[in-house]
């Protein structure tokens, strides 16, 4: 099992246990698994590429084709938990985890499953991946103070810091959850997706794709931009991303939502970020507390939304939004409401 799949399995186990579920109390054939990842099993691929170069093709592990694909995480979670329902791997770069959760919501609505285990996982323990991100000029160059390097929405931001991990959630219909006496933490009320077809590395300057995704998610939830209390933004701390994203939020939701980016604390976990940050949005709704945007000391004057900085802020939260953007122009948004 590659590192990204290991993290997905651990996160899925924790989510299932927290939901009071296990293979003894569910019909495994009605349990779906949807896990997103931008890169899949790069560490194992890297290891076996070295074996190929040093020892020849006969010494390469036959597991290369099994452990390195993006599907390896969903496969591993299914086998570990005994889930026999629909399963998918989603790979839309940094929007993968968010798209995975949206896909899981659609499966539940279609009646294809009773429970969906969904989120994202990513390992960046790979020199090639780090070097490539550096060549894109996407990484912060603040080597003297790594903890303060990622500065979303700050006037002095210069890129993100890579992180790795997994965020997995348990989704089920409200009726199914109530029937088994589950504690509902939040409701996933809407999902939207769109593409900036002409954008590969940077979002479209007008943020058209993200705006379409956000408006679609709100329409799916039967809500309006004015209903949004909190946005956990993609917030990568690149100059272009933060300006474009904040402008979209302001256009769609006005000045009301309190915005944060948690990537300054977690690093940019790429395909896992949507899962991790949606989980943080659920906790914000549950605890009525918005996490701060770390390292934000001087707000870029071009940012037209209110960003929570310095310390977590208590607030009345009934509706939260998670936005994601990925290289290739992929955009996604989720709308969550208080349980």
Q: Would you name the residues annotated as active-site residues?
A: 94, 234, 268
CA distance 4 to 141: 26
Residue 38 CA to residue 48 CA, distance in Å, equals 20
Round to the nearest angstrom and report the end-to-end CA distance of the chain. Answer: 36
Element (H, E) at 275: helix 273-287
HEC-encoded secondary structure of the chain: CCHHHHHHHHHHHHHHHHCCCCCCCCCHHHEEEEEECCCCCHHHHHHHHHHHHHHCHHHCCCCHHHHCCCCHHHHHHHHHHCCCCCEEEECECECHHHHHHHHHHHHHHCCCCCEEEEEEEECCCCHHHHHHHHHCCCECCCCCCHHHCCCCCECCCCCECECCEEEEEEEECHHHHHHCCCCCCEEEEEEEEEECCCCCCCCCCCCHHHHHHHHHHHHHHCCCHHHCCEEECCCCCCHHHHHHHHHHHHHHHCCCCEEECCHHHHCECHHHHHHHHHHHHHHHHHHCEECCECCCCCECCCCCCEECECCCEECCCCEEEEEEEECCCEEEEEEEEEC
Distance, in Å, from the CA atom of 152 to the CA atom of 179, rounded to the nearest integer, reads 42
């Amino acid at each position: 099992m590659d590192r990204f799949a290991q993290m997905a399995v651990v996160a899925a186990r924790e989510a299932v246990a927290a939901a009071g579920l296990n293979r003894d109390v569910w019909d495994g054939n009605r349990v779906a698994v949807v896990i997103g990842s931008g890169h899949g099993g790069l560490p194992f691929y890297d290891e076996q590429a070295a074996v190929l170069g040093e020892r020849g093709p006969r010494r390469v592990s036959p597991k290369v084709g099994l452990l390195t694909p993006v599907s390896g995480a969903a496969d591993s979670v299914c086998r570990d938990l005994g889930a026999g329902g629909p399963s998918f791997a989603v790979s839309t770069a940094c929007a993968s985890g968010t798209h995975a959760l949206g896909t899981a919501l659609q499966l539940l609505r279609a009646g294809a499953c009773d429970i969906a285990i969904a989120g994202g996982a990513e390992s960046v323990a790979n020199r090639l991946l780090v070097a490539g991100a550096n060549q894109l000029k996407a990484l912060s160059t603040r080597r003297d103070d790594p903890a303060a390097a990622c500065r979303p929405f700050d006037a002095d931001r210069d890129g993100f810091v890579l992180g790795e991990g997994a965020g997995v959630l348990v989704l089920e219909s409200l009726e199914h959850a109530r029937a088994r006496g589950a504690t509902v933490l939040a409701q996933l009320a809407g999902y939207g997706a769109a593409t900036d077809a002409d954008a590969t590395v940077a979002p479209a300057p007008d943020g058209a794709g993200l705006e379409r995704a956000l408006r679609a998610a709100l329409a799916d939830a039967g809500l309006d931009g004015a209903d949004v209390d909190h946005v956990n933004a993609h917030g990568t701390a690149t100059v272009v991303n933060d300006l474009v994203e904040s402008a979209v939020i302001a256009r769609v939701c006005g000045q009301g939502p309190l915005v944060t980016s948690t990537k300054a604390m977690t690093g940019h976990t790429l395909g896992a970020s949507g899962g991790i940050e949606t989980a943080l949005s659920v906790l914000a709704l549950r605890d009525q507390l918005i996490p701060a945007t770390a390292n934000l000391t001087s707000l870029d004057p071009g940012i037209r939304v209110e960003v929570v900085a310095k310390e977590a802020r208590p607030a009345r939260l009934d509706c939260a939004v998670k936005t994601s953007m990925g290289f290739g122009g992929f955009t996604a948004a989720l709308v969550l409401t208080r349980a």
